[in-house]
Amino acid sequence: MAVDHLSTTLSALADPTRRAILARLSTGERTVNQLAEPFKMSLPAVSKHIKVLENAGLIVRGRDAQYRPCRLEAGPMREVSDFVEKYRKFWEESLDRLGEYLHELQRKEKKHGRGK
């Protein structure tokens, strides 16, 4: 079965090194060598991460034959945003419940004279 686009994007983002690469590209184009620099990783390991990001359409490589600089292409993230947005009301409810719970705890603390 062909993997759907959203799954490919989420899977590509599910790695801290790949997210760090995207974060660096958000400040401008970089060559693979430049991207590899801050990571204590071999060039082939970094290249593999870049390939995953490229396959997911999150990175576009330039045409300059020698350097082929990497450029951020955030387009696929929009689908991720649309997806989680459908669940916003649920996580906001969870936060509300947590807030109420903490408030209740504080109230009890004060009642028992352990508050300041």
Radius of gyration of the chain (CA): 22
Asked if 83 is part of the footprint of a copy of itself (rule: CB under 8 A), the reply reads yes
Binder of a copy of itself out of 33, 38, 43, 78 (CB under 8 A): 78
Give residues 22-41 in contact with a copy of itself (rule: CB under 8 A).
22, 26
Asked if 85 is part of the footprint of a copy of itself (rule: CB under 8 A), the reply reads yes
Cα 40 from Cα 105, distance rounded (Å): 45
Binder of a copy of itself out of 40, 65, 94, 114 (CB under 8 A): 94
**b/e 55-83 (16+ beta carbons within 10 angstroms → b):** ebbbbbbeeeeeeebbebbeebbeeeeee
Binder of a copy of itself out of 28, 62, 75, 99 (CB under 8 A): 75
Q: Are 32 and 43 in contact (CB under 8 A)?
A: yes
Three-state DSSP class for 2?
coil
The residues of the shown chain that bind a copy of itself, judged by CB under 8 A, are 4, 6-8, 10-11, 13-16, 19, 22, 26, 72-75, 77-78, 80-81, 83-88, 90-91, 94-95
